[in-house]
Structure 1
């Protein structure tokens, strides 16, 4: 069974506005200077406490924990008020549907989002039953630790050669390489293509049609 594991933020979903607004609220709530937007986007994909440590390395662990909690609260407040809508990138749902319809492919998720956040996404888009494995920051070390992918392989019975991680950040690519699975980068997310290349991406796609072709070529190459 082939396995396509998708990151969420920056890969399937354009969540930059929501993330920036929630980080801004968290830092202001702690009386701290708000990081520049480029720095905010650089940590997308990390688990929350690790992200806060990267954004505020001069502060202690307890403050990182408070920032993470404040971020979660701000995020859910924005969502409950319908602010900063998280939209699917064009072509995302179409590719997921095509892959789901295939008998030789299973879908997975590996994300820095919480399990609650992923459950909301799945319910919002009617994706119940689409994903054979869902791995979140609630249950694993932060990317790029390979734990999410290792667990996804175990849950689906897939071999590393038949699995591909699809993501927009160097953390996704490094996680894929650490787990010895295919690493498919996408150019429309939070890290520059040069960062994806440096992290070891096997391919970099500029839209979902190109991603579909790259997945096929990677599977053919790796499963010989």
Structure 2
């Protein structure tokens, strides 16, 4: 079996506007100047405590920022005018992979378990993923814990596992876990950051990702040797 793990924000889902808006509300609530859009998106992928620690430092009002951010994000999501669309081609890619008998799908995300459950409910994806690792289940990226737990949960070997993400944290996590890191260029971080963090391949669209995954899936499993 091959395990194909996806990041969520910036890889499957275009949530950037919601993330930036919620950050702005959080910073306003504690009387701080919000980060630039580029800076705000640069920490997507980290768990919230780690993300705000990067933005304001360990001595900053991290707990208050996390609390207000969660509240703001929930309020924004409840407004039908705010959307978190899938990136073009994401749904077709997942559907095609689900048809392959040798493939198991996984998620590794800095989102909370509750946030992932909302996504699964909204997209009708319950039962699609054999393993789901969130900020509630393992240390924050780039620690390899999410991938290591995912592989242990489904019995996959590192050589049979690929991590797909849009951030340097995803790529560094994959390298630390010994799995194949594939970076996507449509997310929230520059391609150069992904390459520097160890991305083996960079794809610019879901059709390109389909091709890269076809090549990966065609490789014989070392466990079958």
Smaller-chain TM-score bracket: over 0.9
Displacement, 1:220? 4.1
Q: Secondary structure at the match of 1:88?
A: coil
Displacement, 1:221? 5.0
Aligned residue runs from structure 1 range 115-134, under 5 A:
115-134=113-132
Provide runs of 4+ in structure 1 moved above 6 Å: none
Aligned residue runs from structure 1 range 157-172, under 5 A:
157-172=155-170
Farther-moved stretch of structure 1 (214-223 vs 127-136): 214-223
Displacement, 1:207? 0.5
Q: TM-score, normalised by structure 1?
A: 0.96
1:146 and 1:175 in contact (8 A); partners too: yes
**Considering only aligned residues, what root-mean-square deviation do their CA atoms show, in Å?**
1.2
Which of 185, 200, 208 aligns to 1:210? It is 208
Aligned residue runs from structure 1 range 4-19, under 5 A:
4-19=4-19
Q: Secondary structure at the match of 2:31?
A: coil
Structure 1 residues 51, 83: closer, same or farther in 2, change over 3 A?
farther
Q: Which residue of structure 1 aligns with residue 97 of structure 2?
A: 99
Aligned residue runs from structure 1 range 67-216, under 5 A:
67-216=65-214
CA separation in 2, counterparts of 1:161 and 1:219? 11
CA separation in 2, counterparts of 1:167 and 1:123? 22
Q: TM-score, normalised by structure 2?
A: 0.96
Q: Which residue of structure 2 aligns with residue 60 of structure 1?
A: 59
Q: How many residues are aligned here? A: 222
Q: Which residue of structure 1 aligns with residue 24 of structure 2?
A: 24
Displacement, 1:216? 2.3
CA separation in 2, counterparts of 1:98 and 1:113? 25
Displacement, 1:60? 1.8
CA separation in 1, counterparts of 2:32 and 2:178? 40
